[in-house]
Amino acid sequence: MELDAAAEMLERRWFAAFNAASAARAECEALVEALQMAEAAWGEARRRLIKLESLRDALGEELAELDGQKEDAVLETAAPEELSAA
């Protein structure tokens, strides 16, 4: 009788460990999937960031050129007495 009770307790513990391991495996699989999705989203965001930074830099260069052209135009059209510091 005592041997049967010990065997039953061992079997219950085995099933409990089996169920816990199954749940942990399912959690790991879900986390791997979430990690893969996050990595894919990060890669896409990184590519978008690179494109936007490149566009920003190109537009900044164009803006700087336009500002330089405006300054040159103002200097060319100003009378010499307007440029004098005296």
Which residue has 């990184």 as its token pair?
46
**Domain containing 53: what range?**
2-75
Label residues 51-79 b or e (16+ Cβ within 10 Å = b): eeeeeeeeeeeeeeeeeeeeeeeeeeeee
In a domain, 23, yes or no: yes
In a domain, 31, yes or no: yes
In a domain, 84, yes or no: no
**Pick the residue with more confidence: 36 or 1?**
36
d(CA 58, CA 67): 14
The confidence band for 68, taking pLDDT boundaries of 50, 70 and 90, is: confident
In a domain, 17, yes or no: yes
**Pick the residue with more confidence: 68 or 13?**
13
The confidence band for 86, taking pLDDT boundaries of 50, 70 and 90, is: low
In a domain, 80, yes or no: no
If you average pLDDT over every residue of the chain, what do you get? 90
**Domain count of the fold of the chain:** 1
In a domain, 20, yes or no: yes
- The two structure tokens encoding residue 33: 């999937």
Tell me the average pLDDT across 39-63: 98
